[in-house]
Amino acid sequence: MKTISENRSFGGTQGVYSHDSSATGTEMTFGLFLPAEAQDGPVPVLWFLSGLTCTHANAMEKAGAQSWAADHGIAVIFPDTSPRGEDVPDDDAYDLGQGAGFYIDATQEPWSKNFKMWTYIADELPALVGEKFPLDMGSQSITGHSMGGHGALTLAMALPGRFRSVSAFAPICNPTNSDWGRKQFAAYWGDEDNWGPHDATLLMQGNGFDGPVLIDTGTDDQFGDLLGTAALASAMVERRQEGHLRMQKGYDHSYYFISSFMEDHIIFHAEALYK
């Protein structure tokens, strides 16, 4: 693992690191904020999964998570959204290829060699950070934005017992019924019969999540028709899922929206992580 940068931030350290990934076959970069409490021992962990076109840097630099995480003694991990490099397949469209890993493992060429983001986020990166940093990997929560909200919700429900709480900002909630999902699943997995259960609405209809859920979406989200929020809301009601789904008046899909409610999400996760 290489240290790219480390900067003092709200009494803690905001670092950026890279490593060779066996899952993706590429060098991967991630950000990690460690609060001051990490100097004295392992601290709870919050994962932030970013959306389409983003790298590790977008949320790290724009979401404003560090100040609130420092207040509650929580580490925040900011992974990248896909493998990258000259030899990594890509597409001219912004919503496929590099920057659009969708947090799944591709099985179709040319994507299957490198696009193994489920394995990377679920297995490889947690093992790495748990070994290298003072993190309490028994106390984890997860959040994300848009495509990353999709990833956060599906990881939380598909890995029971891993996360104590899950939240999302404007998540893609029903990708199997959206152009933000069907297009990518078809490219990465091929025929629809091969699609995995990586759909938050379908997972909610199944086992749901054994813990609290918080979802915020703006009423003026310019991508609202692609998110499938109503489908997930209905599934949560039918399952009687513990949680809150809030429609925030006048907010759009941007990081201005995310930073406006980041404090709420950090407090929400802190209550679960320290319960």
Domains, the chain:
2-273 (3.40.50.1820)
User: What's the pLDDT tens digit per position in 178-227?
Assistant: 999 999 999 999 999 889 789 999 999 999 999 999 999 999 999 999 99
pLDDT for position 196: 79
Which are the catalytic amino acids? Answer: 146, 221, 253
pLDDT of 275 reads 85
The model's pLDDT over 162-182, given as tens digits with 9 standing for 90+, comes to 999 999 999 999 999 999 999
Q: Is 124 helix (H, G, I), strand (E, B) or coil?
A: helix
Q: Whole-model pTM above 0.75?
A: yes
Give the number of other CB atoms < 10 A from CB of residue 154: 26
What DSSP assignment string belongs to 13-24?
A: EEEEEEEE-TTT
CA distance linking residue 213 with residue 148, whole number of Å: 15
